[in-house]
Structure 1
């Protein structure tokens, strides 16, 4: 459906219509589990960002495009990607923009509006994760919406006025609401142990963290009237097997 985003462990139904074009960007951070990546790749065309080509190579996933400076990819993986006959955009290592930012710009130029899922962004340096999340947020004026995801962590970006119903295949251990703008107004969350109704969240006091799903149902609903909100969920290895 046009307003749904489907990941292996959940399905998100948004109030606002999502773009028709979808892209899965595989970056070079923590490698997603092979089974998760294989399932996600059935939902989206795959692009590789720099050493993300090694992840696709190891999992025998053929990308549609390769972007980056190649400084963190292995020579074998980079040669494999260049030998696929797909478009390859190579940049010098000394540049202002990150490889992900260049990839997002390319998505925008080719598709206009697009829903982007970025994997391979967790498990590394905080500054990289911070840059990736805010770069994804910053592409919204160009028609790009998105999330960062793998089998252990998902961060969904929600901009008011909007809402999302998250149907869970497996319950996350933690659900946190992270204000990604100075203020978020009219924030509600239901289907969790500590629901919130029409609250205001500030980036200087992000207290709505470490919530957990209610045992009464299999869905979580989040609403925001104004501002930018990050809906963060994480699963441990045991939780994925429940």
Structure 2
């Protein structure tokens, strides 16, 4: 089972959602993202939000279409996306994909990137990806990983999320590295590329943000 969560970020940054609509997929709407799903003829199984970003008419439309809605007071400790992600993790899917979580307000973007830490802090092995038209973002803890070339996302960047990332090694990349130490704020591992269909990256300490992107 895969869970796709659509928030209310700018629609022009969304990829083609039909590319992510396999039979084993559950859709979840967050605030205005529920409206965006319904306008694309995708009915979410559940909706989360305070719905302060939809009009009264749009909210009535949503209520008439979605069977299960989790409504919250705008003054709360969690963001709507966090509430939806926590629910999704409880369902124990093989993967969670977050859409509509970039663009617009910078504080929302940073908060959504940091939400990728939630499964790591909970020792949950579910892979969570933040996806928009130009980017795929995910986090990795220390280990060794194989990464496959995606023709539509030629650039691969590794950004420290922790103060230090130790022992980073890149093989099969245009700019390889061997047992390199990088610190928070380093741009050493920005805009690399695979030189074959597969490469590997590994590191021994810290947390990395992995960003696959194109211009």
Deviation track 1:105-131 (CA, whole Å, cap 9, x = no partner) reads: 2223x3256532111112222211111
Which residue does the alignment assign to 1:151?
133
Residue 109 (structure 2) aligns with: 129
TM-score, normalisation: structure 1: 0.77
More deviation, 84-93/142-151: 142-151
Once the two structures are TM-superposed, the CA of residue 157 in structure 1 deviates from its matched residue by 1.3
Please list every run of 5 or more consecutive structure 1 residues that lacks an aligned counterpart in the other structure: 1-20, 237-242
Contact kept in structure 1, 2:149 and 2:194, CA below 8 Å: no
User: In structure 2, what is the Cα distance between the partners aligned to 1:34 and 1:231?
Assistant: 19
1:35–1:230 Cα change, 3 Å: closer
Aligned residues: 212
Alignment equivalent of 2:43, drawn from 54, 58, 62: 62
Equivalent residues of 2:116, 2:138 under 8 A apart? no
Task: Encode CA deviations 1:123-165: one digit per residue, 9 max, x unaligned.
Answer: 2222111111112213323324311012311112111224132
- Partners of 1:161 and 1:148 in 2: CA distance: 21
Matched, 1:165 2:147: yes
Q: Distance in 1 between matches of 2:157 and 2:62?
A: 37
Tell whether the 8 Å contact from 1:104 to 1:136 is kept in structure 2 after alignment: no
Per the alignment, residue 4 of structure 1 pairs with: none
| Partner Cα separation in structure 2 for residue 210 and residue 55 of structure 1 | 32
Do residues 139 (structure 1) and 137 (structure 2) align? no
Partner of 2:210: 231
Deviations 1:166-204 (A, max 9, x none): 241x24253211111122222222333212222222114
TM-score w.r.t. structure 2 length?
0.86
Query: What residue is the counterpart of 1:203 in the other structure?
Result: 184
| Aligned-partner SS, 2:88 | helix
Return the offset for 1:85: 4.4
